[in-house]
C-alpha cells in the first residue's frame, strides 16, 4: 500500500459504555451505547474548556446528576455532542423478554460480548467504509477470556475485512467521551423507565436534563413514542445522529446473538 492509499483510509473512534446490571432484580433494562467520532480530539478540546470554565474535575455520570453544577455541565456536554461530527447508537435489552439461562447459559460476559458485536454491526452497516478503534469502559471479564481480541476477531471475520483496528478497555474516569456516552445512554434508558412506570419519584435534575434533551431534539414526550403518540421500540433522529433500539426477540433471531 502506497502513501496516498494510507491517506485515503477513513478512521473513527468508538466509545462503548453500558448501564444496568444483568442479573440484578433492581434493573429491568441492560443497555449498551456507543459514541462514534471521526475527530474525537475536537470533542475533547471543547469539553476541556467546559471543565476549566466550571473548574470541575469529577466524573460526569447520569447516576450522579443530582445538583445544579452537574446539570449545567451535562447540558453543555450534550450541546457539544450535537454540534460536532459524532453519532450515538444504543441497544437496550428488556430482561423480562429474554431467557438468559436458555440462550446465554447465564453467562454475563457472553451477553456483553455478543450484544456489543450486534451494536457495532448496526453502526458499521452492510458495507464498512472505515477502520474503527474501539474504547470500552472497563468491564469485568474472566481471566480466561480475551474480550478485546474476541470482539475484534468476530467483526473482522464477519466482514472479511480489516474493520476493527483495536479494542481496549479503559477506566471511564479518564475518558470524557465515555462519560458523555454514559450521560446520553442514561437519559434514554431513564426515559424508557418512565414509560414503563419504574420511576416513582423523579430526580429534579434528571427530569430537567431529559426535558432539555426533548427540547433540543424536538421530541414530544418520549424517545419511545412516535409522532402519533403510539409506543415504539425504535428512535432515530434525522441523519442518524442518535439511534435507540429496544431489542425485539420476536423480530430478531436470538441465536445470532448467542454464538
pLDDT at 254: 47
Q: CA–CA separation, 209 vs 62, rounded Å? A: 10
C-alpha cell at 79: 450541546
- In the chain, what percentage of residues exceed pLDDT 70? 94
pLDDT at 107: 79
Q: Given CA atoms 240, 152, 132, 34 in this order, what sign does their dihedral have?
A: positive
Which residue did the predictor score with more confidence, 235 or 7?
Answer: 235
pLDDT at 95: 87
pLDDT at 166: 96
Query: Quick check: 255 pLDDT over 90?
Result: no
Within a 10 A sphere around the Cβ of 66, how many other Cβ atoms? 11
- The domain that contains 63 carries what CATH number? 3.30.420.10
- Count of domains observed in the chain: 1
In the block, cell 467520532 appears at 37
Q: Which residues are CB-contacts of 28 (< 8 A; sequence separation ≥ 6)? A: 94, 95, 96, 193, 196, 198
Degrees, nearest 5: CA angle 58-169-115: 110
CB-based burial label for 137 (10 Å; 0-12, 13-18, 19+): buried
Mean pLDDT over residues 57-75, rounded?
96
Per-position DSSP letters for 128-196, written without gaps between them: --SEEEEEEE-----TT--HHHHHHHHHHHHHTS--EEEEEEE-GGG-HHHHHHHHHHHHHHHHHHHHT
| Residues 19, 30 contacting (CB under 8 angstroms) | yes
Query: Quick check: 1 pLDDT over 90?
Result: no
Between the alpha carbon of residue 107 and those of residues 92, 100, 101, 117, the distances in Å are 18, 8, 8, 16
Closest listed residue to residue 32, CA positions, set 103, 99, 101, 92? 92
Give Dmax over CA atoms of the chain in angstroms. 60
The parent domain of residue 134 ranges over 3-257
C-alpha cell at 26: 433492581
Q: Specify the pTM.
A: 0.93
pLDDT at 102: 80
| Residues 231, 223 contacting (CB under 8 angstroms) | no
- In the chain, what percentage of residues exceed pLDDT 90? 69
| Residues 166, 134 contacting (CB under 8 angstroms) | yes
Mean pLDDT over residues 60-81, rounded?
96
Query: Quick check: 169 pLDDT over 70?
Result: yes
pLDDT digits (tens, 9 = 90+) for 110-154: 888 999 999 999 999 999 999 999 999 987 777 778 889 999 999
Amino acid at each position: 500500500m502506497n502513501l496516498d492509499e494510507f491517506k485515503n483510509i477513513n478512521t473513527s473512534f468508538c466509545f462503548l459504555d453500558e448501564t444496568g446490571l444483568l442479573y440484578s432484580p433492581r434493573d429491568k433494562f441492560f443497555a449498551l451505547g456507543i459514541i462514534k467520532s471521526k475527530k474525537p480530539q475536537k470533542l475533547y478540546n471543547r469539553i476541556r474548556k467546559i471543565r476549566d470554565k466550571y473548574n470541575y474535575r469529577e466524573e460526569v455520570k447520569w447516576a450522579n446528576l443530582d445538583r445544579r453544577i452537574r446539570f449545567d455541565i451535562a447540558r453543555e456536554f450534550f450541546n457539544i455532542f450535537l454540534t460536532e461530527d459524532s453519532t450515538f447508537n444504543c441497544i437496550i435489552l428488556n430482561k423480562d423478554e429474554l431467557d438468559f439461562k436458555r440462550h446465554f447459559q447465564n453467562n454475563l460476559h457472553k451477553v456483553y460480548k455478543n450484544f456489543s458485536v450486534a451494536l457495532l454491526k448496526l453502526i458499521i452497516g452492510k458495507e464498512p467504509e472505515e477502520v474503527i478503534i474501539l474504547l470500552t469502559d472497563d468491564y469485568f471479564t474472566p481471566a480466561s477470556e480475551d474480550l478485546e481480541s474476541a470482539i475484534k476477531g468476530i467483526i473482522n471475520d464477519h466482514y472479511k475485512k480489516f474493520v476493527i483496528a483495536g479494542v481496549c478497555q479503559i477506566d471511564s474516569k479518564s475518558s470524557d467521551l465515555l462519560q458523555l456516552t454514559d450521560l446520553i445512554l442514561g437519559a434514554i434508558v431513564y426515559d424508557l423507565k418512565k414509560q414503563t412506570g419504574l420511576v416513582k419519584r423523579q430526580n429534579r435534575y434528571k427530569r430537567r436534563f431529559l426535558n432539555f434533551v426533548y427540547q433540543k431534539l424536538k421530541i414530544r414526550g418520549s424517545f419511545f413514542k412516535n409522532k402519533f403518540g403510539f409506543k415504539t421500540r425504535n428512535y432515530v433522529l434525522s441523519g442518524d445522529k442518535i439511534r435507540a433500539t429496544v431489542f425485539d426477540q420476536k423480530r430478531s433471531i436470538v441465536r445470532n446473538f448467542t454464538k
